[in-house]
Amino acid sequence: MRERIQATIITIGDELLIGQVIDTNSAFIAQKLNAVGVGVQQRIAVGDDAKSITNALDTAIQESQIVILTGGLGPTADDITKPLLNRYFGGKMVVDQASLDHIKYIFEQIHKRPMIERNLKQAEVPDVCEVLFNQSGTAPGMLFKKNDSLIFSLPGVPFEMQWLMSEKVLPIILDRFKLGVIAHRTLLTAGVGESFLAEQILDFEKNLPENIKLAYLPSYGMVRLRLTGNSDDAVSLNHQLDALFEQLKENIKEYLVTDKDEPLEVIVGRLLKDQNQTVSTAESCTGGYIGHLLSKHAGSSTFFTGSIVSYDNRIKTEFLDVPVRILKTVGAVSKEAVEQMAIAIRAKMNTDYGISVSGIMGPSGQTDEKPLGMVWIGVSNKEKVVSKVFYLRFDRQKNIEVTANQAINLLRLLIINKI
């Protein structure tokens, strides 16, 4: 019988707690663990405080067979993880010669400058750990063992952590444990809220086997549905998930965007490339964010030609042919304005499709007739132009992100002749 292994991820640093740095490390670690069949039981963020780190370790070791810490291994005074772990596991500090030689090489051969004593300290490790040589940086990783748990300490620098996780930590875990299998199936829906979806698939969810879980992942006006299964047998689990996934897709087919775990802009980009078609954007309230999404993936130059960011009304009139009378009568945030923008951008960029947006993102600029979060979106092709109004309720940045995704989805619907 394969083991059901659980992990705890502990991220260390005051900068994480105050939001100065976004924690991407724990997401990467969780994805890597999940891919080999390790479940993540909890993620804990603590500051550069010895008591907090110790308490987190005590809890994690009691509850998880695998504990992974990141952060606090640098050369500065606030990097307290290594001396704390030395005390916690009852060791003494010694120099790891391989790490020392590597650190000297980095400074002398790559940086072309001498080391200082502070950098040499990074080669010191507790004598009770197994050193995980860090080819990507100056702070070695460490492996400790207590009871039946493996405790890994990794640098907080993302590319160093990622190298150690992939090249050192995962091979050790795979060698130590007989792991079960965790597998996922994910789809994306649009045009329906999370609560309505839950009602739509209530019976499906109630009848799921004990080893299969359904998760709702709402984001940017869309909802991802993810089936997760656990088993000892990869073949039978995948057959089971495939059958259930087909049932799920059938239940929500009118809202289904894709049955793959991929961003909306990738889906639309593929549609355009498959048809050898192009798109351009005219953005008033999103500041080029739609163009950013469409162009962020490799190969986007084959379907995305460019944008006009038209915050000022003069740009709308001079470059997007919006008549002054429209701006004076119904205003820039209107059906008439975005439809003209969508038509003009397509013509001026000589593309098959045009996207336009104009709205009030906040935190000011509203009127009695046009509240905060009111956004008009237009899309056009040679045959027609379609527009839709949205009333968003988020802060400025979230409103921009939701608008961009709704605009790209409206384009998708036009491409597949659903509007």
Give me the DSSP letters along 91-126. --EEE-HHHHHHHHHIIIIIS-S---HHHHGGGEEE
Which pTM value belongs to this model? 0.75
Interval 220-241 mean pLDDT? 91
Model confidence at 1: pLDDT above 50:
no
Sequence ranges of the domains in the chain: 6-176, 182-258, 264-415
SS3 203: helix
Distance between CA atoms of 372 and 375, rounded to whole angstroms? Answer: 9
Confidence grade of residue 2 (pLDDT, cut at 50, 70, 90): low
221: left (phi over 0), alpha (psi -120 to 50) or beta: left
CA dihedral 75, 77, 83, 88 (to 10 degrees): -140
Identify the CATH assignment for 182-258 out of 3.40.50.300, 3.30.70.2860, 3.90.1150.10, 3.30.390.50: 3.30.70.2860
Structure tokens at 49: 């405080």
Interval 396-404 mean pLDDT? 94
Q: What is the pLDDT of residue 172?
A: 96
* 6-176 and 182-258: identical CATH topology: no
62-71: per-residue pLDDT in tens?
Answer: 999 999 999 9
Model confidence at 78: pLDDT above 90:
no
Structure tokens at 214: 């359904």
Close Cβ partners of 370 (under 8 Å, ≥ 6 residues apart): 331, 333, 360
Distance between CA atoms of 28 and 164, rounded to whole angstroms? Answer: 12
Structure tokens at 31: 């994805």
Fold of 6-176: Molybdenum Cofactor Biosythetic Enzyme; Chain A (3.40.980)
Is the pLDDT higher at 342 or at 191? 342
Q: What is the pLDDT of residue 110?
A: 72
Model confidence at 288: pLDDT above 90:
yes
Query: What's the Rg (C-alpha) of the chain?
Result: 27
Q: What is the pLDDT of residue 59?
A: 95
Buried-state track 96-131, b at ≥16 Cβ within 10 A, e below 16:
beebbebbbeebeeeeeeebeeebbbbbbbbebbeb
Residue pointed to by tokens 């091979």: 171
Confidence grade of residue 219 (pLDDT, cut at 50, 70, 90): confident
Model confidence at 73: pLDDT above 90:
no
15-25: per-residue pLDDT in tens?
Answer: 999 889 889 99
Confidence grade of residue 227 (pLDDT, cut at 50, 70, 90): very high
Q: How far is CA 252 from CA 221, 255, 384, 407, in A?
A: 16, 6, 28, 22
* CATH no. for 264-415: 3.90.950.20
Question: Phi and psi at residue 130, in whole multiples of 5°?
Answer: -95, 125
